[in-house]
Structures are given as structure tokens and as C-alpha cells.
């Protein structure tokens, strides 16, 4: 066992008295052995809050070494002899949670998480406590090394299917956003017919700012992309917060500013699409990675999702040979003139797909016109433009590109952007 003085297991006797009282009756099996089954029984909001608290502590302890845990990184089965052989990872978790009470600069979101975790631990079983401590231990060292936490490393962690509330609202759980229980949508409907759509036909993908830390808060949320078969993706960027009082405490929910979500059908008036054609939707672009959705017209004459995910944005044409079933997305800035000989420019996305013969085939070209100001009035749903503005930083001039998309309500929504030095 480490002998660092900092949670100084000798100096911190009053605190350890509290901790050891909490551990009375524990059989002291190895802390991290067989935790997976018990971890699945722990509510997702408790797990998310435990990760957030632990990561924040680990990150803080990079500079506040006098507060660091008295345990080694690769020894989760170490025991605390002062506590009569209690698992060290449980002791360290309890110690660290208590330290939040006197720690300066703790955000309201983290204080809410502290209450959530401590409330859960008061009724947790021995095995559940040890499972949560194992999770806490891992997240702490992620923060200590300033690496992304587990919840953001998992593929698809931010894509959520809804449940239906007692009031008939679609509810998307958001345990990965500090202080927010869920996103609620009052109504989901076809934008043309006005008919309600079943909540379970929809998924929501949460997109956060590129520079967001591992601890995601409401301010880090950039957009939510709603997707359903047969409809164009809808991007929502403005939300309000509402509160619900429950016996367990107050829950905070996000709601789209205009409450409902309208989805534009990919075929209008019941018309069918042309079989074996494709459509590329650009959902987000940060200058290096594009979040895209590729739709294919099937034999039934309806659009079907072929692919949805992140694709690297390339500046060059693809090489001659490739690996089957991969994609290459090239972005070009094109300068040209219109039919009246006026200069115009646009961003051009060209998607290539690798055929079975291991050679690239161009499958779709998507363009967005560049503008110096967003067009006024109601826009055409699905239309995209790139808002171009210049600014100075020191002696250099930079060009900011904001990719904007018109939603089903005829309003512009920013779905991405990037900054480049202005060419001389």
C-alpha cells in the first residue's frame, strides 16, 4: 500500500471513521472481481455521475498533488489495513466523494452528481458498491492522464432511442450530459401531412462542441440530429430546460425550443424514388471530419439508410486502388461564374465508394453555395449554404466557414464550421 500522506490514512482518521462505518459487514472480496453483472444493475445516471466526479478529481489531481488518493493506479485489489482490510478502491471512492464537500470551484452539475451518487450508495449492496468503485477507479485514472472517459470512447454512446412518457412524449435518456436527465419531445410529425409519427421510429444523435472536455454539460451540446426511415434528418440546435419534481429529487430535461420535431419525407406526395440511386446528407462538418448519412433507393421505391457515421474529409482525389466497401469523401472549394458572368463559389463534397474490383467509383456530388450573409425569410428545407466571414487575429486574417442547413420549419441551423488562414 502506498504511504503518501495525502489522503493520509493516519491524518484523516475522522473521515476514515465515517468511511469504515459505511463498510461494516463487507466481506472484502477483491474489489474489481466479477463486477460486470452488478454494474448492469446500477442506474445509468448514477454511473454517468460517478464517471464525471472521478474524472474531474483525477484531472484536478494532476496539479493538486496534496489531494491525491493513497492508492496505486494498477492495484485496484489493494486493501486498506486501517479499515480492517476493506477494498482500497471502495475506500478511495468514499474518500474522494467526501472531499468534494470542501473543494472550491465545484460546479452545480457536479454537486448534483455528488448527491446522486451518495444517495445511491446509502442503499447499495456490497457487490454494487464494489462495482461502482471499480468504474470510479477507471474514470479517475482517465482524468489523471487527461484522456477521454469510457462513456465517450464507446461507439454510438451518443445515439439514443426513445421511450414514451406517461404524457405521451418521446424521451431520450441523456446520462452523458451533466445535470440533464433526458431530452423530451412533445410531438413528432410528418412535416407535409401533419400526421403523427411513432416515437420508436426515431433516433436522436447528440453532437457536442469539438473542444468540449470529457465532462459534457448542456453548454457543450451543439445540435441533436433526429433520424427516421423514409425522412430527411432533422437538425435541432436550440433547447429550453424544464424541471420535474420526483420523490428522488428534481430532474432537469431539455426540450426543443418549439417543442415538436417535424420530419420532411424523402419522397413527396407518395412518389417513389428511382431504384439504385443514392443521396448523401451532410449532417455536420468540423473541417476534418464529416458526419454523413448515405441513403439508397431500394427495390420498393423507398429510401433506405445505407450508411451513417463519421468520414474523414479529404482534400485530394482518392488513390487508384482501395479496399472494398470503404468510402472516400473529398471536399473542394470551387470558384466559378454564374450564367450572368457573376463570380460565385461553393463547397463541393464528392463521395467515392470502393467497388468489388478494388477501384473507386464516384457515387454522389453534394454542393453548398457560399454566402456572405444568410438569406432572409423562410428558407427551403434541406437547403445548405456556407456562411463565409473574415476576422483578424494579430496581423493575420482568417476566414470562418459556417455550414448552415435549413430545417423543416424553414429556419437556418448551424451544423458545423471551420477556420482557415486567408490566402494572400
Question: What's residue 406's pLDDT?
Answer: 92
Helix (H) or strand (E) holding 99: helix 88-99
Name which residue leads in pLDDT, 146 or 224: 224
Question: What's residue 213's pLDDT?
Answer: 67
Question: What's residue 366's pLDDT?
Answer: 94
- Is the Cβ–Cβ distance between 219 and 227 less than 8 Å? no
Helix (H, G, I), strand (E, B) or coil at 133: helix
pLDDT 10s digits, 169-207: 899 988 888 888 899 998 899 988 889 998 888 899 998
pLDDT 10s digits, 87-131: 778 888 888 899 998 887 777 778 888 998 999 999 988 888 888
Contacts of range 362-365, beta carbons closer than 8 Å, 24 or more positions apart: 363/278, 364/278, 364/279, 364/280, 364/294
Give the model's confidence band at 37: pLDDT under 50 very low, under 70 low, under 90 confident, else very high. Answer: low
pTM score:
0.66
Question: What's residue 403's pLDDT?
Answer: 96
pLDDT 10s digits, 84-99: 666 778 888 888 899 9
Q: How is residue 29 written as a grid cell?
A: 472480496
Helix (H, G, I), strand (E, B) or coil at 174: coil
pLDDT 10s digits, 147-177: 766 656 666 778 888 988 888 889 998 888 8
Pairing between β-strand 278-285 and β-strand 289-297 as defined by DSSP bridges: antiparallel
Question: What's residue 365's pLDDT?
Answer: 95
Pairing between β-strand 202-208 and β-strand 261-263 as defined by DSSP bridges: unpaired
Chain mean pLDDT for the chain: 81
Over residues 337-347, the mean pLDDT reads 87
Over residues 293-304, the mean pLDDT reads 84
Whose grid coordinates read 482490510?
Answer: 85
Amino acid at each position: 500500500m502506498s504511504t503518501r500522506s495525502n489522503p493520509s490514512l493516519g491524518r484523516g482518521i475522522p473521515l476514515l471513521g465515517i468511511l469504515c462505518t459505511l463498510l461494516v459487514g463487507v466481506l472484502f472480496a477483491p474489489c474489481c472481481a466479477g463486477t460486470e453483472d452488478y454494474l448492469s444493475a446500477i442506474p445509468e445516471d448514477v454511473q454517468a455521475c460517478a464517471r464525471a466526479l472521478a474524472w474531474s478529481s483525477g484531472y484536478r489531481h494532476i496539479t493538486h498533488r496534496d489531494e491525491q488518493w493513497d492508492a496505486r493506479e494498477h492495484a485496484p485489489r489493494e486493501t486498506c489495513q486501517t479499515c480492517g482490510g476493506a477494498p482500497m478502491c471502495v475506500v478511495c471512492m468514499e474518500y474522494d466523494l467526501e472531499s468534494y464537500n470542501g473543494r472550491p470551484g465545484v460546479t452545480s452539475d457536479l454537486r448534483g452528481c455528488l448527491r446522486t451518487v451518495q444517495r445511491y450508495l446509502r442503499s447499495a449492496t456490497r457487490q454494487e458498491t464494489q462495482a461502482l468503485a471499480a468504474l470510479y477507479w477507471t474514470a479517475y485514472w482517465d482524468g489523471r492522464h487527461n484522456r477521454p472517459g469510457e462513456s465517450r470512447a464507446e461507439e454510438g454512446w451518443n445515439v439514443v432511442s426513445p421511450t414514451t412518457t406517461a404524457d405521451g412524449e418521446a424521451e431520450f435518456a441523456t446520462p452523458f450530459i451533466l445535470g440533464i436527465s433526458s431530452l423530451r419531445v412533445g410531438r413528432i410529425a410528418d412535416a407535409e401531412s401533419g400526421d403523427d409519427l411513432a416515437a420508436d421510429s426515431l433516433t436522436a444523435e447528440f453532437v457536442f462542441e469539438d473542444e468540449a472536455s470529457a465532462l459534457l454539460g448542456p453548454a457543450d451540446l451543439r445540435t441533436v440530429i433526429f433520424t427516421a426511415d423514409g425522412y430527411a434528418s432533422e437538425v435541432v440546435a436550440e433547447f429550453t430546460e424544464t424541471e420535474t419534481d420526483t420523490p428522488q429529487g428534481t430532474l432537469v430535461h431539455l426540450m426543443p425550443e418549439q417543442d415538436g420535431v417535424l420530419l420532411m419525407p424523402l419522397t413527396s406526395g407518395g412518389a417513389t424514388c428511382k431504384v439504385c440511386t443514392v443521396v448523401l446528407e451532410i449532417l455536420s462538418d468540423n473541417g476534418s471530419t464529416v458526419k454523413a448519412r448515405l441513403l439508397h433507393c431500394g427495390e420498393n421505391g423507398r429510401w433506405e439508410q445505407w450508411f451513417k457515421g463519421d468520414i474523414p474529409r479529404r482534400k485530394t482525389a482518392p488513390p487508384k486502388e482501395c479496399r472494398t466497401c470503404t468510402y472516400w469523401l473529398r471536399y473542394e472549394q470551387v470558384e466559378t461564374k454564374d450564367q450572368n458572368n457573376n463570380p460565385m463559389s461553393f463547397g463541393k463534397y464528392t463521395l467515392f465508394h470502393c467497388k468489388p474490383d478494388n477501384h473507386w467509383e464516384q457515387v454522389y456530388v453534394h454542393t453548398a453555395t457560399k454566402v456572405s450573409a444568410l438569406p432572409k425569410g423562410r428558407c427551403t428545407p434541406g437547403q445548405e449554404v456556407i456562411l463565409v466571414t473574415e476576422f483578424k487575429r494579430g496581423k493575420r486574417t482568417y476566414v470562418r466557414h459556417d455550414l448552415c442547413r435549413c430545417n423543416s420549419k424553414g429556419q437556418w441551423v448551424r451544423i458545423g464550421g471551420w477556420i482557415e488562414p486567408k490566402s494572400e
